[in-house]
Amino acid sequence: MAEQQAESRRVVVETPNTRREVVHSEAARDPERNGISGAALAAIVVGVIALAAVIILFALNRQDTTNENLATQTQPTTIVQQPAQQPPIVVQQPATQPAPVIINGQPAPASGGTATSSGPDDSSIQAAIDKKLTNDPAFSSLGIIATVVNGKVTLTGTVKTESLKLRIERAVRNVKGVNAVDNQITVG
């Protein structure tokens, strides 16, 4: 049962004309203390959830190992023996033929020694032409392709006017190391 406490106070109120006495009484109730607190209830719930999670994980782990053991027992082991590999056959060409020359617009790797030409190599000419075509706003949006082989530049692409075609050719001719220009740009 709830405990009930009564508190009573007497207050005297004086005014210039009268004097009176006022009695205040308050009843205070204390709730019953026979249940469990909220913190204890929360701790119990968290404990039950953790215990359930551990049990579930243990059961799943046990089931996985049971399945693996069963699969290992039922599957026969097959061993396949591969034949020995034979060594590769190497074909050598006679020494009288010169080595093949591959031209793809890229410079050949430099061999140790002195350079035979006094001018710039194709890769530096290609880089200078590409830089000139991309830095000029009139040429950069046209998609002109320049290919350099032994100092000879081949231009391909499409432009709107003949004068633009000639301007591109003149710009490429002014690059250091260009020996010839094959202008295959079409006007259309």
Residue 103 DSSP SS3: coil
The tens digit of pLDDT for each residue in 168-181 reads 999 999 999 999 99
Pick 133 or 33 by higher pLDDT: 133
The CA-based angle 163-169-173, given to 5 degrees, is: 145
Query: What pLDDT score does 181 carry?
Result: 93
Total length of the chain: 188
The C-alpha atoms of residue 48 and residue 1 are separated, in whole angstroms, by 32
How does pLDDT run across 110-163, given as a tens digit for each residue? 554 444 455 678 889 999 999 998 888 888 888 888 999 999 999 999 989 999
- pLDDT for residue 2 is more than 70: no
What pLDDT was estimated at residue 126? 92
Q: Are strands 152-159 and 180-187 parallel, antiparallel or unpaired?
A: parallel
More confident position, 81 or 45: 45
Contact present, 157 and 185 (Cβ < 8 Å): yes
Output the 3-class SS for 50-93.
HHHHHHHHHHHHHHHHHHHHHHHHHCCCCCCCCCCCCCCCCCCC
Predicted TM-score of the model (pTM): 0.38
CATH number, span 122-187: 3.30.1340.30
Q: What is the pLDDT of residue 83?
A: 67
Percent of the chain scoring above 70 in pLDDT: 62
177: nearest Cα among 108, 130, 103, 121: 121
Mean pLDDT of the chain: 77
| Buried/exposed 79-98: b ≥16 CB within 10 Å, e otherwise | eeeeeeeeeeeeeeeeeeee
The percent of residues in the chain predicted with pLDDT above 90, rounded, is 29
- pLDDT at position 118 is 56
For residue 18, what pLDDT is reported? 82
> What whole-number distance in Å separates Cα of residue 181 and Cα of residue 171?
11
